[in-house]
Every structure is written in structure tokens, then in C-alpha cells.
Amino acid sequence: MFVWSKLSSPKWRDAWEERFHGNGQTNAVISEIRGNKSIRVEVYVPRLEQAEAIREQFGGSIRQLKSENWAAMSPPAGKPMRIRDQFVITNESDEKAVEKLRAENPDRETIHIPPELAFGTGDHPTTATCLRLLCDIAAELNSEGKKRWSLLDLGTGTGLLAIAGKKLGASAKEILATDYDPLAIKVAKSNAIRNGAKGIKFEQSDITEWSPPRQFDVVVANIFANVLIASVPQIKRAMVAKGYLVVSGILLEHWDDVKKALIQEGLSVTQVEKRGKWVTALSRR
């Protein structure tokens, strides 16, 4: 086992929690340093390349822990999550358990996202709320007779939202999922194949330096608030007229700034969902 560690300001605690929440193959530990002037973020992973990927992105240091039993430290699979009447989301690693879930829920699509070093297993409030809104949008599009629609998933993480979008009716050839993390793209591609969602295009890119290749009916952006605010102009250009935008990954204290950035670009905010300290919102162009 390997552990990546880094000292950070306490003000970034929520951001670190968000980045590593729900990753079943990592144990993230955040400790306060005496005097509360800094925090230590530690992430335990089974493979060196996982630790190196974190260090490449965030700096910090790596050390090997030879005496630890990683399997014993790994948390058990969480309870499956049911989203509207459409999905059962599970991070169960046992294939037999996944098949049992499918048999028990014949009227729902079971999406299997085993724990990996990528954000978005479905149990975090931001991801779960995005899924619910995506179900509602798909129902509205289908009621309007738009059976095949396009989807842009910014900050795709595990690829869950892109996979769900395809199962809800988005055309695989018109789904683009991006992430700045190359490991996330690798994980997302694997999950798409695992869940029978072939044809989705996954692309590594930095949204702050990104230009949309075309316009999409639905855009989902589950990313940090500061990145989202800086990227609203690019995101608007990626939306068709009257298109849908779901924004998430927003701490309650940052929501007013995000809302202001959306309105300044001429986007209306039609629905706001608050879950604890997190905000997810639906916007229209």
C-alpha cells in the first residue's frame, strides 16, 4: 500500500473532502495540525501509479506502507441507491451481488460503478442530485418527442452521468464526457464498457482552456465552484438555444457567486436543490 500526503490550509477542507469522497479503493484521512493553522490530507491507495497520479495533480509526497493490510482497510460496498424509477446505482465489487440486484430490480437499469480513484460513484449528494435532474430532463425531452438527444458531461469522473444519459435516451454518438484527470478518463471508459454504454466519447481536457466542439441539448457540469464560475462563458457556448444545464459540486457558501455568474451570461436558474452543504441547480439558455 502507498500513502500520498500534503499539508493544506483549513479553508480547503471541503474541497479535499469532495475530491476524495466515495472512492472505495482509497481511504482519505484529513487531520488538523496543532494550532488549527493547517491540515494534513492523506490518501491511502493500493497501487503506486494511483499515488503518483494524485501527486502529479496536487503535489505532495508519497511513501510506501509495507505492513498494512489494504483489504482489511477497504470499506464495504455501500447500499445501492435508487434514482427515480429509472436506476439502481451500486459500487458493489462482487459480480454475483450485482447480478442479484439486477434480478431484484427488473424494471430499473442497474449501473455498476465499482470503487476506483475517480469521483462520482453516485453516493455523494452532488452526483445523486445530478442523476435525479438528468432523469427529469430526459422525461421532458422524451415527452416533447425528442427521442435522441445530445449530452456533454464536464468533469465526468467515473463516467456515471454519461452512462446514465445514454440509458435515458441520449445518442451515444452525441455524448462527450471530459475530465482533466487522465486516470478518471481511463476509469470512465472501463465503466462505460462494463455497463454496456459503448460509443461514448471520453476526452481529457482542462475546461478553463477548452472550446466546445459543438452545441449540446444537455450539459452537466459537476465541478468545483471556482472552475465553474470561470468557465460559464465556454459552457454557454456549448448549449443549444433553450438547452439544459445542470451545475453541481457547489458548496452552499459559494452558490450566490455561481448564480451571479450564470445570470450574467444570460442563463436562467429554474431549479435549485440543496442537500446538506451542497447545491445542485438547473439552468436554461
Using the 3D structure, point to which of 49, 73, 97 is the last residue of a domain: 73
Task: Report the range of poorest mean pLDDT among 78-82, 136-140, 243-247.
Answer: 78-82
Angle between helices 255-264 and 225-237 (to 10 degrees): 20
Q: Is residue 95 in some structural domain? A: no
> What pTM was estimated for this model as a whole?
0.77
- Shared domain for 262 and 122, answered yes or no, is yes
HSE-up of residue 110 (Cα within 13 Å, Cβ side) = 18
Q: Supply the CATH number for residue 209's domain.
A: 3.40.50.150
Residue 74 pLDDT greater than 60, yes or no: no
d(CA 208, CA 117): 23
Domain count, the chain: 2
Confidence label for 175 from pLDDT (cuts 50, 70 and 90): very high
pLDDT value of position 241: 94
Q: Percent of the chain scored above 90 by pLDDT? A: 46
Angle between helices 48-58 and 182-194 (to 10 degrees): 130
With CA atoms as reference, report the closest residue to 167 among 133, 192, 202, 203.
192
pLDDT value of position 273: 93
With CA atoms as reference, report the closest residue to 219 among 263, 5, 228.
228
Q: pLDDT tens digits, residue range 234-261? A: 999 999 999 999 999 888 889 999 999 9
Q: Is residue 54 in some structural domain? A: yes
Q: pLDDT tens digits, residue range 7-47? A: 888 878 777 776 775 444 446 777 777 666 788 888 877 77
- Shared domain for 261 and 163, answered yes or no, is yes
d(CA 245, CA 162): 14
- Shared domain for 36 and 125, answered yes or no, is no
User: Domain span at residue 29?
Assistant: 2-73
pLDDT value of position 21: 57
Q: Is residue 261 in some structural domain? A: yes
Residue 76 pLDDT greater than 80, yes or no: no
Q: Supply the CATH number for residue 35's domain.
A: 3.30.70
HSE-up of residue 151 (Cα within 13 Å, Cβ side) = 36
pLDDT value of position 203: 94
Q: Which residues have C-beta within 8 Å of that of residue 74, sequence separation ≥ 6?
A: 24, 25, 27
pLDDT value of position 22: 46
pLDDT value of position 34: 61
How distant, in Å, are the alpha carbons of 63, 133, 232, 253, 275 from that of 97?
A: 34, 28, 41, 39, 29
Q: Is residue 101 in some structural domain? A: no
Using the 3D structure, point to which of 42, 73, 104 is the last residue of a domain: 73
- Shared domain for 33 and 136, answered yes or no, is no
pLDDT value of position 182: 82
Residue 180 pLDDT greater than 90, yes or no: no
